[in-house]
Amino acid sequence: MDIFARPIAIRRTQAERSALSDVRMVDAAIGLMASRGISGMTLKEVGELAGYSRAMAGWRFGTKANLCAFIIRTVGDEWLRALNEAVRNKHGLAAIHAATDAHSRFVHDGAERIRVFYMLWFHSTGPDPELKQVIVKVHERRQRDVEAWIEQGISAGAVREDAEVKTVAAQFCATIIGIVYQWLVEPTAQHQIHDLHQGLKQQMSRALARDITDAKRPQQEQE
Amino acid sequence: MDIFARPIAIRRTQAERSALSDVRMVDAAIGLMASRGISGMTLKEVGELAGYSRAMAGWRFGTKANLCAFIIRTVGDEWLRALNEAVRNKHGLAAIHAATDAHSRFVHDGAERIRVFYMLWFHSTGPDPELKQVIVKVHERRQRDVEAWIEQGISAGAVREDAEVKTVAAQFCATIIGIVYQWLVEPTAQHQIHDLHQGLKQQMSRALARDITDAKRPQQEQE
DNA sequence: ATCGTCTTTCTTGTTGCGAACAAGTAAATA
DNA sequence: TATTTACTTGTTCGCAACAAGAAAGACGAT
């Protein structure tokens, strides 16, 4: 009977315990940053909101920067996985269009996680090497993905051979970041964000399409 | 003789005193942020580095956020003035190309002030309304300038009439921001930054040029 | 299974630093 | 000289960061 009297203090393995506290604290931190900004998120509150003590977050992650890095890695992975899912089996312009549409959709849905992910992304512009390392990794991987799509498109004959792969990929990534910035600053202008994504697709078409006619077709694939 | 014994405690008007301390503190703050990042800049050090006491910066600006806002306004104005100088008397594509080249040049020169300005720019992505207000203003003004260039180009007959002014201007601004982000994260890759600017010019040509031949000419105006 | 020991997870206690404000001093204005 | 404006010293509060202790899982021995 005291089996029932005891609250739901389920017995968990240690690995389960840390995993659980990790996700609880990440969720808490994301919630706090989404509502109060990055500087408004405090390790103390993260611990307490996650159902632990003051110092829990500090103890697990050491420093606030470490927690942020962990969040970037975590959400960044989810994010890359979702994007790759959307692009599955496509290559060349089709892949880029699919990725852009997926990006537009995700951003439109406006999940807290993504918003905070990009907030952190933009916060790592200082000379502090800590966060930057992580960001640069995610960033490089993104750009490599885009380059791969273009190269696959070239070898499949769907993209013009003389396309400057690295430059175009860099432009794509830069524009995506610019669009995200707009979104973060003015989350209400969903229409504009959508237009910017469409414009990006068009721009990539003009840069990569084999012939003029391909590039001219604006291709409103989404919605 | 004690006129000479006394250090250079020149008699200044009160307006001069505040103006002087303002520029000293802004310089100090920019220096600190450039070397240690935004969170590494402390009001205490700003005051002392500027030659005053601990609390000087806090007293003058009230809060750290206010100091940052002040810096954004100050440098933002310098920046807009320099850009407008570079574009003087141009319109349409020529103006946009000139602005892009100027931007590329400024960023290449890599003045501390600009770097910090953009660091602050990217830091204001949270839900904190304080800094965001200022940024949004600078941002809107920028976009209006670009729209004006395009419209002038249209009425002068140099830009196609069916150009979607607002959308293209927004794309231009977004891409600039994306490029700046790249620069902040990887300041070493100057070559890439230059390429991105050139690519942006080409992209704008394709979007705005009256006929295809105009758009095809890559126009390496810079350097 | 049950006990005792070791390890990992988490908590309470403390320190130091910076932001923010309050109350005082010095310099300029009139 | 009186008043306003520019600046300084003194203090409080909150957070990050660490240290030392408590509780909960792991694991071998009986």
- Domain of A55, CATH number, reads 1.10.10
| pLDDT at B6 (0 to 100) | 44
| Residue B76 is assigned to a structural domain of this protein | yes
Q: Kindly state whether residue A7 falls inside one of the protein's structural domains.
A: no
My answer on whether A101 and A191 are in the same domain is yes
Please state, in angstroms and rounded to a whole number, the distance separating the CA atoms of residues A223 and A153.
25
Rounded to whole angstroms, how far apart are CA atoms B101 and B115?
Answer: 17
Counting one residue from A and one from B, how many pairs have CB atoms under 8 Å apart?
130
Q: Are residues B77 and B43 in the same domain?
A: no
pLDDT above 90 coverage of chain A, percent: 72
A7 has pLDDT over 60: no
pLDDT average, residue stretch A105-134: 88
User: What's the CA gap between A93 and A159, in Å, rounded?
Assistant: 7
Nearest to B196 among A132, A139, A170 (CB): A170
Q: Which residue has the tokens 């001069």?
A: B16
Give the count of alpha carbons within 13 A of B59, CB side only: 9
Same domain, B137 and B152: yes
A165 touches chain B (CB under 8 A): no
What local confidence, expressed as pLDDT, does residue A127 receive? Answer: 81
Neighbouring C-beta atoms of residue A187, cutoff 10 Å: 13
For chain B, say whether A199 makes contact (Cβ under 8 Å): yes
Helix (H) or strand (E) holding B31: helix B14-36
pLDDT recorded at residue B37: 94
pLDDT means per 10 residues in chain B (223 residues)? 49 92 98 95 98 98 96 92 91 96 92 94 83 86 94 94 93 96 89 95 92 52 42
Q: Is there a single domain that holds both residue B21 and residue B116?
A: no
State the number of CA atoms in the 13 A half-sphere of B158 facing the CB. Answer: 14
CATH code for the domain in which residue B88 is found: 1.10.357.10
Strand C contact with B44 (CB < 7 A): yes
| In-domain check, residue A172 | yes
- From the Cβ of A36, is strand D under 7 Å away? no
Predicted pLDDT of residue B222: 41
Residue A205 identity (one-letter amino acid): S
Q: How confident is the model at residue A210 (pLDDT cuts 50, 70, 90)?
A: confident
Hey, which residues does B209 pair with through a beta bridge? B159
Q: Are residues B97 and B115 in the same domain?
A: yes
Residues A86 and A191 reside in one and the same domain: yes
A144-183 pLDDT per residue, tens? 999 999 999 999 999 999 999 999 999 999 999 999 999 9
Nucleotides of C under 7 A from a protein CB: 8-13, 17-23, 27-29
Q: Which two tokens stand for residue B79?
A: 């920046």
Mean pLDDT of A128-143: 85
Is residue B208 located within the same domain as residue B101?
A: yes
| 3-state DSSP assignment of residue B4 | helix
Residue B159: exposed, middle, or buried by beta-carbon count in 10 A (0-12, 13-18, 19+)? buried
Q: B58 and B121: one domain?
A: no
Tell which wins on pLDDT, A34 or B221: A34
- Category of B217 on φ-ψ map: left (φ > 0), alpha (ψ -120 to 50) or beta: beta
Q: Are residues B104 and B178 in the same domain?
A: yes
State the Cα angle at A177 between A176 and A181, rounded to 5°.
120
Query: Is B4 part of any domain?
Result: no
pLDDT tens column, B144-164: 999 999 999 999 999 999 999
Residues A103 and A41 reside in one and the same domain: no
Which residue, of A25, A41, A62, is where some domain finishes?
Answer: A62
CA distance B122 to A176: 15
Q: Where does a domain end: A42, A62, A82?
A: A62
Are A72 and A32 in the same domain? Answer: no
Pick from A145, A144, A139: nearest CA to A90: A145
- On the question of pLDDT at A3 being above 50, the answer is no
B47 and B73 part of one domain:
no
How many folded domains does chain B comprise? Answer: 2
Per-residue confidence band for A124, with pLDDT thresholds at 50, 70 and 90 = confident
Distance CA(A75)–CA(A90), nearest Å, equals 24
Taking Cα atoms as reference points, which of B50, B11, B6 lies closest to residue B28?
B50
Which residue of A136, A184, A207 is in closest CB contact with B125? A184
Q: Is pLDDT above 60 for A108?
A: yes
Furthest CA-CA distance within chain A: 78
pLDDT at residue A2, rounded to an integer: 38
Q: Which residue from A minimizes the CA distance to B184? A: A125
Å between CA of A14 and C1' of C6:
14
User: What is the residue range of B171's domain?
Assistant: 68-216
Token pair listed for A75: 């959400």
- For B211, other C-beta atoms within 10 Å of its C-beta total 8
pLDDT at site A110: 76
In terms of phi and psi (left: phi > 0; alpha: psi -120 to 50; beta: otherwise), the region of A7 is beta
> Which residues 86-115 in chain A show a CB within 8 A of chain B?
none
